A and B are shown apart, each in its own frame.
Chain A
Amino acid sequence: MPALTFNNVSKTFGDNAVIKAFNADIHDGEFLVLLGPSGCGKSTLLRMIAGLSDITSGELLFDGDVANDWEPKQRGVAFVFQTYALYPHMTVRENIAFPLVMDAFRKWYHLPIVNIIARHRLMKRPDIAERTLKIARQLELEPLLDRRPVSLSGGQRQRVALARALVRNPSLYLLDEPLSNLDAKLRTQMRSEISALHHKVGKTFVYVTHDQVEAMTMASRIIIMDKGVVQQVDTPDSVYDNPANTFVAKFIGSPPMNLIPASVRADGLKLSGEISVDHGATLPGRREVTFGIRPEKLELKAEGEGRLPARVAVVERLGAETVIGCRLMTAKGQAEELLIEQDLVFVRVSGNPKMQIGETCSLDYRAEDVLWFDIDNGQRLS
C-alpha cells in the first residue's frame, strides 16, 4: 500500500524541461488527480510513477524506498491507458488473464513454442480461470469473455482495461485519462463507477485528466500542473476556495473566476483603471493588483444599486440557473473592454431572471469574497 513521495523530482528531455522540480506526497489509499491542460506533463508524471519513463533527477519514494530504478513489475502498479491498449489478437478473457498468466510464467516458459503451450494451459488453471471470471463478473463483462476487443464498444473496452488492472490486485492504480474517449453520458456514468471502485478496493489511485469537473468530483486531492510546473497540491475545496495563483483560479470552476486588473490608489480601489469602487475593507499594499471573484459570489442588481455598473452582453440559461456575462462600465457610462484576458465578467444567478442583452445593470460583492493576485506573476496575495 505505497505512500508515494516526490523529492525534488524533475524530468528533462534533452534541453527541454518537461517537468520542473517539485515535492509532493501521495497518501496511501487516496484518490489523487493530476489535473492540467494538454502538454502540462501530467501524463509524463504518471508514467514516471509507473516506471515507463525515466526520472531525470530527484527521488521517487515508494513507502520510503527509492524507487527510481525499479522495473514496473517491481512497483506493483496497474496502468489504464487512454487508448486502453488491449491486446487486439486476444479475447477479452485472455486480455484480463494476461497479468496472472505472466506472473505464473517460469523463466523457461518464455521460449518460442513453449510459451504458446504454457499460456494455453495456464488459462485453464483453476485459480487463474476463477479469478478472471470473478473480475469479469464484477465489471459485467461475462457475456463478452470470448469476444475480441475490436468487436466491443468504447465503454466495454474501457471496462476490460479496468478488469485487466484489477485482476492482479495491485497496490497502486494509475489511470491516464481513461474517460476522454467516451461520450459525455458514458463519461458521467463511468466516473461514478470508478469512484465506487476506489471505495471498494481501498488502494491508492492516481488519475490523470484535463477535465476539472472529473477532478473536482472524484479527487481526494488534486495536483494541478501547467507547462511542467506544479501549481498547487490541495483538496478540491481548497483549490476552489484558495487557489494559489491565477492559473488555478481560472482552471477550476465553470465558468472560471473573474479576474480584473485593478489599481490601488490613495483614494481607493479602481477596477480596470477607470471604475472607482468603494471597497469597504482593507486593500492590499501594492499599487497594481488583480481582483478575483467567483461568478457565484457576485450579486446581480438593478442599475445603480450595486457598486459596479455593468451592461449585459451574454445570457446563458441553464435551466436551474443562468450565467450572465457583463461588461463593466466606466463612470462615464462607456462599456470599456479593458479587462485582461476576458472581456466579460460572469455572474451566476439562480432561476431565470428576465435579463436582456444590452440591458444595464449593476454588480455587487462582499469584500471577504475577493481574492487578490499579483498582477505580474499571478501569485496569490495573502
Chain B
Amino acid sequence: MPFKKLTLKLSRYLLIGMLVVLAGFPVYWMATTALSLNSELYGSGQVIWPQLQNFPQLWHELGQVPIGLWLFNTLLIAAGGTVLSLTLGSLAGYALSRFRFHGKGLVGFLLFMTQVVPEALILVPLYAMFITSGLLNSLTGLVLANVGFSLPVACFVLKGAMDAVPYEIEESAIIDNCPRFSVLTMIILPLIMPSIAAAAVVAFFAGWNEFLFASTFLMDRENWPASVGLASFVGQYETPMSAVMGAALVFSIPAIVFFLLIQRKIVAGLTAGAVKG
C-alpha cells in the first residue's frame, strides 16, 4: 500500500515539475537571453544558465532602446484607460445595480457583446473615424478605443460589488437630502474600494498589453507604447536580442506582478461578465 501511495505521490510531483518547466521556461529563457552576449546568441551558442556577470552590459544596451519613452507611453495609455473605464463603468454599474428602466436587458446584452467582438472588427471603421476627427496618431484616440473593451468588465465587477451594498443605506442618504449622484460618489464607491482596485488593475492590465490598436493608430515613433516598440524588432536580422529581451522583461515584470496580485478577481470578473449575458 505505501508503495502505491509513494508512486502516486511521485508521479504527481513529476507532473507538477513538468508543468512548471513548461510554464516557466519561456520566462526563464527571456532572462537568460537578456543576460547573454550577442556573440553567443548568434554565433557560438547560447549559454543555458543566466550569466549575471553580463548585467552591466545589459544595462548599457538597454539605454540604446528607447524603452523608457515606450514605457512612459504605455503608462499613459494604461492609466488613461483605467480612469475612463472606471468612471464610465461605475456609472453603468450603478444604473444596472439599482434601477429598473426600459432597455435594461438590451444594455446588458450590448455590454456582453463587447466581450465577444474581435478588436480587429472595428479596427477599420475606427481608423476611418480617427482620420476624419484627427484623432489618429494620438494617445487620446488610442485610449478612447481601448476603453470600449474594458468599460464593460469594470461595469460588471463594480455592479457585483454594488449589489452587495444594502439598499437601506442609500435610502437613508436620500432622506438626508443627498442626490443620487452623490450617493454614488460619497456613499457607495467608498464602500466598494477593493472591487474598484480590482477593476482598476484589470483595466490597467488590458491597456498595458494592448497591441493591435496601438500599432495601427500610432504612426509617430514617439507615441509608441512598449508593446509596439518591442514588436518593431520582430523580423529584423540585426536585432540586439539581449537588449530586446531585457526590454521585454522590463515590460513584462510589472504585468506579471499586477497579475499575480489580482488573479482571483480577474477570473471572477471575466466569468461574471460572460455569465451575465
> Are A and B physically bound partners?
yes
Residues in chain B near residue A81, CB distance under 8 A: 168, 171-172
Q: Is the CB of B171 within 8 A of A98?
A: no
Q: Decide if B175 touches A50 in the complex (CB within 8 Å).
A: yes
Nearest CB in chain B to that of A168: its residue? B176
Contacts of A89 in B (CB 8 A): 190-191
A247 in contact (CB, < 8 A): no
- CB distance A85 to B166 under 8 Å? yes
Query: At the interface, yes or no: B14 with Cβ under 8 Å from chain A?
Result: no
Interface residues in B180-198 (C-beta closer than 8 Å to A)? 181-182, 185-187, 190-191
Contact of B185 among A72, A105, A115, A168 (CB under 8 A): A115
A85 neighbours in B (Cβ, 8 Å): 166, 168-169, 171-172
If A79-B172, A81-B168, A85-B171 touch, whether A99 touches B185 (CB-CB below 8 Å) is: no
A99 to B172, CA, bound (A): 10
**With A and B bound together, what is the CA distance between A164 and B178 in angstroms?**
14
A119 lies within 8 A of B175 (CB): no
Contact of B175 among A72, A87, A112 (CB under 8 A): A72
Give which listed residue, A50, A86, A102, contacts B178 with CB less than 8 A: A102
B171 A115 Cβ-Cβ under 8 A: no
Indicate whether B179 reaches chain A with its CB closer than 8 angstroms: yes
Is the C-beta of B39 less than 8 angstroms from some C-beta in chain A? no
Interface size, A (range): 20 to 34
Most buried by A among B168, B172, B191: B172
Q: Which residues of A contact B177 (CB under 8 A)?
A: 72-73, 99, 102-103
Contacts of B169 in A (CB 8 A): 85-88
How far, in Å, is B162 (CB) from chain A's closest CB?
A: 14
Which residue of the partner chain A has the closest CB to B171?
A52
A83:B191 contact, CB within 8 angstroms: no
Q: Does B47 contact A (CB under 8 A)?
A: no
Number of interface residues of B (CB under 8 A): 19
Q: Complex Cα distance A50/B172, Å?
A: 11
CA distance A178 to B193 in the complex (A): 30
Contact among A102, A110, A112, A119 with B176 in the assembled complex (CB-CB below 8 Å): A102
Q: How far is it, in angstroms, between the C-alpha of A88 and the C-alpha of B170 when the chains are bound?
A: 12
> Which residues from chain A contact B181 at a C-beta distance below 8 Å?
110
Are A79 and B191 in contact, CB atoms less than 8 angstroms apart? no
**Contact status B168-A83, CB under 8 Å:** yes
Question: Could you tell me the distance in whole angstroms from the C-beta of A50 to the nearest C-beta in chain B?
Answer: 6
Q: Which A residues touch B185, using CB under 8 A?
A: 110, 112, 115
Closest CB in chain B relative to A292 CB, distance in Å: 40
Select which of B166, B175, B182, B187 is within 8 A of A77 by beta carbon.
B175
With beta carbons under 8 angstroms apart, the residue of B168, B176, B179 that contacts A98 is B176
Complex contacts, B182 vs chain A, CB 8 Å? 102, 105, 110, 115
Chain B, Cβ-Cβ closest to A73: B177
CB <8 Å contact, B166 and A110: no
Within 8 A of B (CB), among A60-81: 72-73, 77-79, 81
Enumerate the 4 nearest inter-chain pairs by beta-carbon distance, A residue then B residue, closest first.
A85-B172, A85-B168, A99-B176, A73-B177
Extra inter-chain contacts (4) besides given A83-B168, A85-B171, CB under 8 Å: A85-B168, A87-B172, A115-B182, A119-B186
Q: Which residues of A contact B (CB under 8 A)?
A: 50, 52, 72-73, 77-79, 81, 83, 85-89, 98-99, 102-103, 105, 110, 112, 115, 119, 164, 168
12 contacts between A and B (CB under 8 A): A50-B175, A72-B174, A81-B168, A83-B168, A85-B171, A85-B172, A87-B169, A99-B177, A102-B173, A105-B182, A115-B182, A168-B176
